[in-house]
Structure formats: C-alpha cells, structure tokens
Amino acid sequence: MQPREKSHSHPGMTLKEKEKYIENFRFPFCDDSVKYEKVAKIGQGTFGEVFKAKEKTNPKKLVAMKKVLMENEKEGFPITALREIRILQRLKHENVVMLIEICHKRACQQNKCLSTFYLVFEFCEHDLAGLLSNVNVKFNLGEIKKVMQQLLNGLYYIHSNKILHRDMKAANVLITKNGVLKLADFGLARAFSANKNGQPNRFTNRVVTLWYRPPELLLGERNYGPPVDLWGAGCIMAEMWTRSPIMQGNTEQQQLTLISQLCGSITPAVWPGVEHLELYKQMDLPQQQKRKVKDRLKPYLKDAYACDLLDKLLVLDPSKRADADTALNHDFFWTDPMPCDLGKMLAQHSQSMFEFLAPPRRSRPHHTMANQRPTTSAIQDGGYQDRVF
C-alpha cells in the first residue's frame, strides 16, 4: 500500500504527523507527568498501578498517581476512568479523596507512541486494610468511632450529591497520618437519581467486592441505591474489631449463605418483595436461620451501642437499612467515649500501611489479584518512615 494519499482538499495530518504534533503541542491545561518523581509502588488495582510520588520542584508535596491502563482498551480512554474523573471533579469534601489533576506522559519509544495518563491524588499515608492487618495498630473505642463517623460523613456527602460508591471495602478507605479518613477508588462509582416517573434503574449488579456485597445485589437487584454502600460500611465497621472481613465467601452462593447465617434467613417476611428479585428462586437460601448479628459480634465489639448500630447497618432489607444520616445520629457517636482523634495513635507508627504491602490477612476475595506480598508491611523508601511527628 502506498502511504495514505492526502485527500485533494484536506490537509489534515497523517497519524505519524499527529503523534508528532501531540508531542510538540503544549497543552495549556494538562501537565506532563515528569513534574512528579515516583517513590514507590503502593497499589495494584484492576485498572492500573498506584504509585507514591513527589513533586520535583516541591519534594514535600506527596501525591498518589494512579495509572490509567490503556493498553488493552478497544474503546479508547476507559469509561471507568472517565467516570472516576467526572465524579471526583464534582465531589469536594474532607472525607473524599481529592483529585489534584490528570497528568500525561508523553509518547516515547518505549511505550510505542502510546501516551499514558495518570490520575494524581493527594497522598494519604495509609489505607484501612493496611492498618487493620498490622497487629501493632490498636484502635480504642473512641478512635473506632472517629473512623466510622468520618466514613459515614463521606457517604452522607456523596449520597446527597447523588453518587453511589459501589466499592466499599477497607482497602478503598484511606487515612492520612493526621487521622483524616478519605473515601477513595471511585472506579465503580456512578450517579443515580431518585427514579422519577416510576421508571426503575437498570444498573449492573456486578459491583462491589464479593465480601462486601449486599444481599440485594447478590439476588440480582438492578434498581438499587445508597443502601448498598451502607452494607459495606457495616462490614467495615465490624472489621474494625474483628480485624478481618467478616464474611469471606468464595462464590456468590456462599456469600449469601454466610449472610443468612449471620443476619438470619432471607424471607419475604423480613424483607417484603425479596421474592420478586431475579435470582431469589435460583439461589439456595438457607431457611430457619436466626439473626445472630449481635450475638456473634458482641464478643468482639463489647460496646452495646456499637452492636446496636451494626445491627441497623447489616439489615437484609435495603429499605430498612440505616442510611448515613440515621447512622450518624446513632447513640454510638454521642455517648462516652466520644469519637476521638486518630492523630495521636497514628503518630506511633512511622511507616505507611497499605493493603498492597501488607501480609495477607486471610484468603483474598477471589477476584482481587493474588499478590505475592513482601514480608514487610511498609514502604522502605526512606520517605515516610524517617519523618518524626
């Protein structure tokens, strides 16, 4: 074939020329990623790697860079990344991770002219999964309350902005060294609207890591809403004491069984309408199970208010599950010991703790990557661990 004949009248560029053009064009709004220097890899997600990095001109400024995987995308820039960007641009809250910018790495020989994009976030020193897997990190009751209060505040904010997170789990909850909690990973998030005109939503129910997936999703509900995130919040809350995920199913069926064993049988009596869900008849739902949320978790939680709040979060029927507002008003947060700052406790630990770097807490949910974990539970990068504060 001849090189593409330039059409008689259109002097547009060839692909090659275009690549060159991008290389030389200074986009006024999209910075080059060379302004950051990678320090360490801190995460490996479904969509790409996450690095800790520092700004070259201002090495005190730490960021987390999440690479947008483009290699095997048939449909260009991934829609999941577009969603995450769009949603984070519109959410600004102390308890939601801040997206600083999107950077671009110029095309070069190595990546075969494929330019790479990075989402650049404010850096948080820990994620909750990393903290919980470290036995030396001990939360007292006031500190647990603070974690949960911030988590619910974040949920309250995103839900009132009509966003569902859809991937609540400890690894997606970040905590700064000062003890500020940030919801992260909006890769599965989406906007929802209160369905007007009686038109039900048709969302995908293949969201949320299995262990944190609420019963309505497991039963095929597509018209779901904020309660899906509150189920996850309940699972995380219990984990603050148990230190590992409370229901670790290997299959959707097994997850439903575990849920029934903890929360009681899934029946139309406790959850009117459940019989109409798509998978209700297909799944094997254990009968005659008593609800044992309080009984089984009391040995861990001890505190009666904590048990009661958890009991209101881990409710089978999503319409009866506590919402973020109700949960925040629960006595748990308004009785002694009151929520108390995490800064002091975290100051005893000078190393970053991330799930990616931690030894496995137990088996992993089947669709998360099985990673070989380093023996250390911290980044040995000479950065965070040297700091005294």
Partner 1 sequence: MPCWYYDKKELRNTPSSLDNIDYETEMRYRKEGARFIMDTAFKMDLGCNTKATGAVYFHRFYMFHSFRQFPRYVTACCCLFLAGKVEETPKKCRDIINTARGLLSDAKFSTFGEDPKEEVMTLERILLQTIKFDLQVEHPYRYLLRYAKCLVGDESKLEKMVQMAWTFVNDSLCTTLSLQWEPEIIAVALLYLAGKLSQFEVVDWVGRTNKHLRWWDMFVEDVTLDLLEDICHQVLDLYSQPVAEAPPDSPPLSPKLLLAAPSSSKTNGQEKEKVETPKIKPPATTVAPTLPEIPSYPYPPAFSTTSHAGTYLPQYANPTVAPPHIAAPPPGPPPPHMPAPPAVLYPPYVGPPPHYPPVVPPAPFYQPTPAAPPHRPFYPPPN
Ligand X SMILES: Nc1ncnc2c1ncn2[C@@H]1O[C@H](COP(=O)(O)OP(=O)(O)OP(=O)(O)O)[C@@H](O)[C@H]1O
> Of the two residues 197 and 288, which places its CB atom closer to partner 1 in the complex?
197
Neighbours of 35 (CB within 10 A): 15
Q: Given the DSSP bridges, would you call strands 126-127 and 116-122 parallel, antiparallel or unpaired?
A: unpaired
As a whole number of angstroms, the distance between CA 262 and CA 10 comes to 68
Q: Is 156 in the site for partner 1 (CB under 8 A)?
A: yes
> For residue 193, what are the contacts with CB-CB under 8 A and spacing of at least 6?
162
Neighbours of 358 (CB within 10 A): 21
Applying CB under 6 A, which part among 115-123, 309-317, 318-326, 336-344 lies near ligand X? 115-123
Q: Given the DSSP bridges, would you call strands 181-183 and 190-191 parallel, antiparallel or unpaired?
A: unpaired
Residue with the closest Cβ to ligand X?
A: 45
Q: Is 157 in the site for partner 1 (CB under 8 A)?
A: yes
Q: Is 111 in the site for partner 1 (CB under 8 A)?
A: no
Q: Is 163 in the site for ligand X (CB under 6 A)?
A: no
Closest C-alpha to 255, from 225, 319, 315, 212: 212
Q: Is 224 in the site for ligand X (CB under 6 A)?
A: no
Q: Is 304 in the site for partner 1 (CB under 8 A)?
A: no
Cross-strand bridge partners of residue 38 = 53
Q: Is 66 annotated as a binding residue?
A: yes
* Residue ranges of E strands in the chain: 36-44, 49-55, 58-68, 99-105, 116-122, 126-127, 163-164, 173-175, 181-183, 190-191
Q: Is 115 in the site for partner 1 (CB under 8 A)?
A: yes
30 binds, among ligand X, Mg ion, partner 1, none (CB under 5 to 8 A by kind): partner 1
Q: Is 121 in the site for ligand X (CB under 6 A)?
A: yes
Window 331 to 370, contacts with ligand X (CB under 6 A): 354-356
92 binds, among Mg ion, ligand X, partner 1, none (CB under 5 to 8 A by kind): partner 1
Q: Which residues of 240-251 are buried (b: 16+ CB within 10 A; e: fewer)?
A: bbbbbbbbbbee
CB of 122 to ligand X, least distance (A): 6
Which residue of 39, 40, 53, 64 would you call a contact of ligand X, by CB under 6 A?
64
Q: Is 257 in the site for partner 1 (CB under 8 A)?
A: no
Q: Is 229 in the site for ligand X (CB under 6 A)?
A: no
Q: Which of 127, 167, 229, 323 is catalytic?
A: 167
As a whole number of angstroms, the distance between CA 173 and CA 128 comes to 6
Q: Is 90 in the site for partner 1 (CB under 8 A)?
A: yes
First to last CA, the chain: 66
> Of the two residues 43 and 264, which places its CB atom closer to ligand X in the complex?
43
**Cis ω for the linkage preceding 215 (within 30 of 0):** no
DSSP output for 133-158? T-TT----HHHHHHHHHHHHHHHHHH
> Of the two residues 15 and 370, which places its CB atom closer to Mg ion in the complex?
370
CB of 45 to ligand X, least distance (A): 2
Closest C-alpha to 299, from 246, 351, 335: 246
Q: Is 167 a catalytic residue?
A: yes
CB of 206 to ligand X, least distance (A): 13
Task: Tell me which residues touch ligand X (CB under 6 A).
Answer: 42-43, 45-48, 50, 64, 66, 97, 121-124, 127, 171-172, 174, 184-185, 187, 354-356
Active site residues: 167
